[in-house]
Structure 1
Amino acid sequence: MLIGMTTPASHSSPRLLRRSGPFTRALGCSEASPAYSAPPTVRVDEPGDLIAAIPALLGFTPERSLVLAMLCPGGHRGAEVIEAVMRFDLDSLVEPGALEQFTDCVVSICVREQAVGVLAVQVDDRAGPSLAITRLRVALLDALAGQGVPIRGAWTVGSISAGARYRDLFDPGAGGVVPDPSSSLVAVSQVLDGRPIRQSRADLIALLAPDELRRAGVQRLLCGAARSYHRDVAAARRIGRDAEQQRQMLEWILWQIADVESGEPRTNADLARIAVLVRDQPIRDVMYGIALGEHAEAAELLWTQLARATVDRDRAEAASLLGYSAYVRGDGPFAGIALGLAVEADGDHTMSVLLETSLQAGLRPDRLHKLGECGHQLATDLGIDLGPITR
């Protein structure tokens, strides 16, 4: 998403564009904007327009949050670009020890990406700035100034909603009214691009909430599904048809992914079998390859159903596949939630830990394409064409 913006001259704020950027996640409570590919330019001319665009930039409407936009050189006709939009929970930021970690995180990203400035929006419905939040802003200003990265503009607003009033934190007498976020050019562009904008972060978490009834049903079938898998693998190995057996298992999962697009939920028996099959590392690795192709959205639907219906390592496996897919398509908030749940389900799940660490470190999605490309190659080696890489 490219955004052009003009801000009040009193702050010498540059016109800016927003383009693809890395994810950032720190303190377990921050998310980055979802856009990664660079669609056509959308121009924003007022701070209120920028504030109204935040739900579209993050994929949900933040509450009690600090949102930072990192400015970097390289825009069209000398304009600067936003390389990342980061959200932090305000309450988490004022916990003991969090302040230094937060400033270190922001500064390290600004230095690595050669940022030339930061824009800040505080979203807080509580009356008046608290001493802790004021201290946070001062610490951030000092830390960034020490690296030669100024805060080009900072505003506070009670909520990001039509008609909400925002104030300029550098000039308390200045401010304005937030236009309708759902009507912003950025929101329209995101929706047309197929990216949903959710009402809150809780809506994202709810997408992966355990389905206890299905969990019980799947758990009852897992042992039988595992026995069938091991029996089939052993039989194929005895007659030297290992590769053919693996190809058949992959073809079955691919059919499940294609069929889930019909809107019909998978049966408990299907989910139990899928859970067992993705325990097989080569099969699981091929599933990462699907995240780069045309069936990625359907696969995410399947991984969501599987994550909600399983526990422990099986839930971690499904949530990791889902998190990776969200990561490479640029949905930082959902990727962070999925990967966080994966690590919570199984702290020893290596892939989940690696992906979550990459997300926290702000690693660009394209740096993770190698994982999906390897999945494509494994499928090819088994005689299966996953289609072109489209991401």
Structure 2
Amino acid sequence: MSATSSLSALPTPSLLLDERKMLANIARLRDRPALAGVALRPHLKTAKSVEVARRVLAGGNGPATVSTLREAEVFFAAGIRDILYAVGIAPQKLPRVAALRAAGCDLTVLLDSIEQADAVVAASAAAGAPIPALIEIDCDGHRGGLPADDPQIIEIGRRLHTGALLHGVLTHAGESYGVLGAAAHAAFAERERHAAVSAATRLREHGLPCPIVSVGSTPTAFAATDLDGVTEVRAGVYMFFDLVMAGIEACRVEDIALSVLTTVIGHQRDRGWILVDAGWMALSRDRGTAAQTVDQGYGVVSDIDGNVLPDLIVTAANQEHGVIALRAGSTAGLPAMPVGTRLRILPNHACATAGQHGAYEVIPAEPGAPLVHWPRFGGW
């Protein structure tokens, strides 16, 4: 039985992954000429899957980025050794970091304060081995990090260099998710590069090492044209993409590799509603496209073969019910969809939707091959 025909046998809701699209997305970034000579450190927070990691990582074993220590532990157990934990370190987590490093994992932490640096120094002394850390640089006011010219960067660097291991600097242009088009994303890519390289230069001018200069987000990774002074680029959601990325023109809707399989369970014909068994527990509550030019509700509706149905979106979501209707202003007719019809919903935010599920039902890249089941995990 082929993969597409066996979709009708799956329970719903189920999380579908189109391997052919995923591999094309991975290759698109990997093969960018602008990244030649720069390491690619994919972020595995979206995937949370060993099988996906084996396909996205160079040689299947790293380097990699994670957002939880649970991810670091699972991926290290699968043979991935070079891991960056790219969330500001909490002191209480440092014993787990030290345990991973003692087991042979080359795990690096992230920080942006003297308090965190002192905690890393203390943990290094307790472990009898230095813990490497990157200093987070704020390039766009998005979230954490220090401005590239902040005097604290030098003091943090000195403390790490003396009592732990100063590995370098990192920045993330999270605000690139809020602008439209390649030119705007390229401008953010340059902000990333300039901030990280400037901070690295200041550290070196003060006699401190800075071997790693790490930048990245999915929009900027695809738009960067100048990576002079950068040693590595990070990106994560690009392997799957989603409607938010399509809405800012980082990809096309047809590039989205992830969808939720659902079944029509009823109608409210006088309201123009089609009811399905995928609510926010399957789709997530993420409404990331609400602030974009085109609001995609809780997801775009496709038929069972993945063909987008004109102007059909999930307009409302209860816990286990989704409401499909025509988007506001549409002149299209509501299609006839009998109870039992199978549909696929493209997600607003791949990370959030995938996080609602325990596994991927994979449509293999090989034509005619049967579905494959890839487990995914959660936790912190």
Structures share a fold, TM > 0.5?
Answer: no
Q: TM-score range by the shorter chain?
A: 0.3 to 0.5
Q: Which has the higher contact order (CA 8 A, sep 6+)?
A: 2
The structure carrying a bigger strand percent of its residues is 2
TM-score normalised by the chain length of structure 2: 0.33
Which structure has more helix as a fraction of its residues?
A: 1
